[in-house]
Amino acid sequence: MKTKILFIFLILWGCNMNAQEIKLPAPDRVGGQPLMKLLNERKSSRSFSEKELSEQQLSNLLWAANGFNREDKRTVPTALNCQELELYVILKKGIYFYNAKEHKLALVKEGDYRKSAGLQDYVADAPLNVLIVSDTKKAANAQYSYTNCGYISQTIYLYCASEGLATVARGSFNKEELNGLLQLSKSQEILLAQSVGFPK
Ligand SMILES: Cc1cc2nc3c(=O)[nH]c(=O)nc-3n(C[C@H](O)[C@H](O)[C@H](O)COP(=O)(O)O)c2cc1C
């Protein structure tokens, strides 16, 4: 009987451990459509279906946006190589931190918080909302951080154009509410949000 209970406990513990993080598949580093075509098609869209991105698409998008393409440097530049920006994602199942070095998602808070990701109605429909967060202690200055942030946002736009996904960069969100939900420290600041999903 004791062994049975221990066995069930271990299974439940194992399931819980898995929920704590999502190990993303390796990003596809050679795919995608030609750059000039993507620039021609890049646009903001504000209408999303409920369809979720595949884990491969999530992996590719996050790696493209802020992943490591060399041992210690990323797909996007940062002034003075400060690398002060990190990504958080709000998915239907929870809020996660993108651990770029290990290319995995670490659970911050379980549950559907998409409504809190922004002030406009369409935000809650998007299966993915990306938050670009600066660690102001690591940053050279605010001006550089906003510049660095733009590279990430445009990369998300281009990846979405390549995949036929809809996206829009957003400055409209409730900073205080999101600071709490993301469990940010005093030195962390959300610079920009970006909604992503399949077009409706
Ligand atoms: C820094 C920044 C903040 C933005 N904030 C919002 C926003 O809060 N809500 C929104 O619907 N669109 C937002 N946008 C999208 C712009 O409205 C959009 O880029 C602009 O209308 C041009 O359209 P296009 O992206 O299709 O070229 C933002 C864009 C940027 C670059």
Say how many Å lie between the CA of residue 154 and the centre of ligand 1.
11
From the alpha carbon of 118, which atom of ligand 1 is closest?
8
List of residues 6+ apart from 1 with CB closer than 8 A: none
| pTM given for the model | 0.92
Closest CA to 99 of 108, 111, 110: 108
Under 8 Å between Cβ of 130 and 193? yes
Task: Report the alpha-carbon distance of residue 99 to residue 124 in Å, rounded.
Answer: 24
Q: Is the CB of 3 under 6 A from ligand 1?
A: no
Q: Is the CB of 20 under 6 A from ligand 1?
A: no
Closest CA to 124 of 112, 109, 114: 114
- Tens digits of residue pLDDT in 134-178: 999 999 999 999 999 999 999 999 999 999 999 999 999 999 999
- Tens digits of residue pLDDT in 82-120: 999 999 999 999 999 999 999 999 999 999 999 999 999
Under 8 Å between Cβ of 84 and 145? yes
Q: What's the mean pLDDT in 126-130?
A: 98
Which is the CATH superfamily of the domain at 2-197?
Answer: NADH Oxidase (3.40.109.10)
